[in-house]
Chain A
Amino acid sequence: EAGVTQSPTHLIKTRGQQATLRCSPISGHTSVYWYQQALGLGLQFLLWYDEGEERNRGNFPPRFSGRQFPNYSSELNVNALELEDSALYLCASSRPLTLTGELFFGEGSRLTVL
């Protein structure tokens, strides 16, 4: 069974540009989560999508947005990039609501803003 896949692995952008990151969940998983992990910091919750709807978002400005497609894949868009957006962006998926609700992570997309 394929795990969570993310693309691109690495992305280099300049300030003011837009970045789009993509995520494909594990087959059968309907929820997709996005986290930001800046160097040396913990995982900061960005967005949660379930069944195509945004269920919750973290304390990030509106220029961080995303969507979930009918096949449950997802993309994260970051507009008007700033230097501090440089981080590892992790996508995770989970099964439909279960007792445990554990997340399975992809390998991440490293965004560098110059």
Chain B
Amino acid sequence: QKEVEQNSGPLSVPEGAIASLNCTYSDRGSQSFFWYRQYSGKSPELIMFIYSNGDKEDGRFTAQLNKASQYVSLLIRDSQPSDSATYLCAPRGDYKLSFGAGTTVTVRA
């Protein structure tokens, strides 16, 4: 089993729609969870982090965490063309921050 698994992409959504990204992780010791966005040819940038069960909202982004199910998700509401990128899920354990392979999102105008 991979340490971090993300729903396979690419994910294509129309402008204004909701993009839903999912991630499961294997390390039960993971304490905090990050979503990074990586534009093509650029380095990853942090967009959300969450460490408590439940939902966390930041603008058009909502992260949802369920530690019992080892599941974290990211919703992008009112998707914009500028949201087109690869989104990386990254649970943090004691000794490292592992990244999923990423889900590439394309927002169609």
Contacts and interface: CB of A to CB of B under 8 A. Distances in A.
Given A42-B88, A101-B32, A33 B101 contact: no
Contacts of B45: 105
Could you say which interface size class chain A belongs to? Answer: 20 to 34
Contacts of B42: 107
A41 interface: yes
Contact of A43 (B32, B44, B95): B44
Could you say which interface size class chain B belongs to? Answer: 20 to 34
Given A42-B100, A99-B51, A100-B49, A48 B44 contact: no
Interface of B: 32, 34, 42-46, 49, 51, 88, 90, 92, 95-102
B67 to A, nearest CB: 15
Contacts of A108: 43
A43 B88 contact: yes
Given A42-B88, A42-B102, A90-B43, A103 B51 contact: no
Contacts of B97: 33, 45, 101, 103
A55 interface: yes
Nearest to A110: B41
A38 to B, nearest CB: 11
Given A99-B51, A105-B43, A105-B45, A56 B95 contact: yes
A25 interface: no
A58 B96 contact: yes
A1 to B, nearest CB: 15
Given A99-B32, A103-B46, A105-B43, A45 B51 contact: no
